[in-house]
Amino acid sequence: MANRDIPEINAGSMADIAFLLLIFFLVTTTMDKDTAYVRSIPKKVLVKTPPVDVEKRNICAILANSKNQLMVRGELMSNPDDISERVIEWYTTNEKQNDVTNNFPMYSRISMAEIEAQIASTTKDAEAMENTPNASADIIDFKWKQVQEWENKKKALKLYGRNELPEIQFQAHVRIEVQKATAYELFAKIQSELEEAIFTLRDKASLEIFGESYGVIKKRYDANEGDKTKQAQAREDKDKLDLLKILYPDRFIEVTPKK
């Protein structure tokens, strides 16, 4: 037989097949992202110690009862959207200038010389503890952690580029107290408002110091963190985020409801 051309396959129905598959995936795809507020649970305490007295000014208490009524720092609130404003007020009132007469947390301002002195003394402490016979590993660990904390502050102040590092009172915290029957919606709303307050504060500081939005830095850090080729950028962003965290720490306490 003479050689014949192989007949071409008719691909006209390829589109139909692809369409069929496409429609299947179109219908089954859900594009909703899972979003949530990540919080850490305090470690279980084995040794019961009496609770430390905290000055009233250092607590920003947000209460919600079983009838879903809100109270922030002893004041009833009808509109939960205002929580973030109150939290921002609580953070910033004494930030520039301490005023003993008001009911807001104090700020301490530490200079580089003071930080250096603290590093020296805590390092000496830690070394002394290491040389002590029978010292428990936990305590030595704790001492070195203190040194690390001061080292972090030193780094933060360098990046801050000013003479002093303002820092909110170490006991200052936001306290969320709900009742057992409080609707989850309100609890989530409180979390949302807190997140908004922290974001607003850090964003403002970020724009002032770095000329860049907090959201931008955070997003870039999240994207670069796992990328081995972009570690330098990731480290730089990490330092920036650490500074913002020292300026406005997110210390939230969720109190287990009793009734």
Partner 1 sequence: MSKFKKEGKKNAPGINTSSLPDIVFMLLFFFMVATTTKDADPSVSVTPPEGIRATDMTPYKQRSEIDFLYLGKPRNAARAAEFNFGYALFLDNVAQPDPGDLYSTNYIRQWKKDKFNSKPPSMTKPIESVITCVKADRDAPTGIIFDIRKELQEIDALTIAYAVRDKSNI
Query: 92, 98, 103, 191: which one contacts partner 1 (CB under 8 A)?
Result: 191
Distance set, CA 32 to CA 6, 29, 35 (Å): 49, 9, 9
Q: Is 9 in the site for partner 1 (CB under 8 A)?
A: no
- The interaxial angle of helices 214-224 and 184-210, nearest 10 deg, is 100
Distance from first CA to last CA of the chain, Å, rounded?
Answer: 95
Part of the chain binding partner 1 (CB under 8 A), chosen from 141-149, 155-163, 181-189, 231-239: 181-189
What is the DSSP pairing of strand 59-64 with strand 173-178?
A: parallel
Instruction: Give the strand order in the sheet containing 173-178.
Output: 75-77, 70-72, 59-64, 173-178, 252-255
Q: Is 206 in the site for partner 1 (CB under 8 A)?
A: no
Beta carbon nearer to partner 1, 34 or 208:
34
Q: Is 253 in the site for partner 1 (CB under 8 A)?
A: no
Residues numbered 160 to 179 that lie near partner 1 (CB under 8 A) are 178-179
Question: CA quadruple 72, 77, 80, 83: dihedral positive or negative?
Answer: negative
Part of the chain binding partner 1 (CB under 8 A), chosen from 25-33, 89-97, 149-157, 232-240: 25-33
- CA nearest 86: which of 109, 63, 106, 108? 63
Beta carbon nearer to partner 1, 13 or 101:
13
Query: 154, 155, 175, 189: which one contacts partner 1 (CB under 8 A)?
Result: 189
Q: To 5 degrees, how large is the angle CA 247–CA 205–CA 63?
A: 60
Q: Is 14 in the site for partner 1 (CB under 8 A)?
A: yes
Residues numbered 117 to 146 that lie near partner 1 (CB under 8 A) are none
Query: 199, 221, 248, 252: which one contacts partner 1 (CB under 8 A)?
Result: 199
Q: Is 257 in the site for partner 1 (CB under 8 A)?
A: yes
**Smallest distance from partner 1 to CB 79, Å:** 15
Per-residue burial over 3-27, b = 16 or more CB atoms within 10 Å of its CB, e = otherwise: eeeeeeeeeeeeeeeeeeeeeeeee
Three-state DSSP state, 60: strand
Residues at the interface with partner 1 (CB under 8 A): 11-12, 14-15, 18-19, 21-22, 25-26, 28-44, 178-189, 191-192, 195-196, 199, 215, 222, 254, 256-257
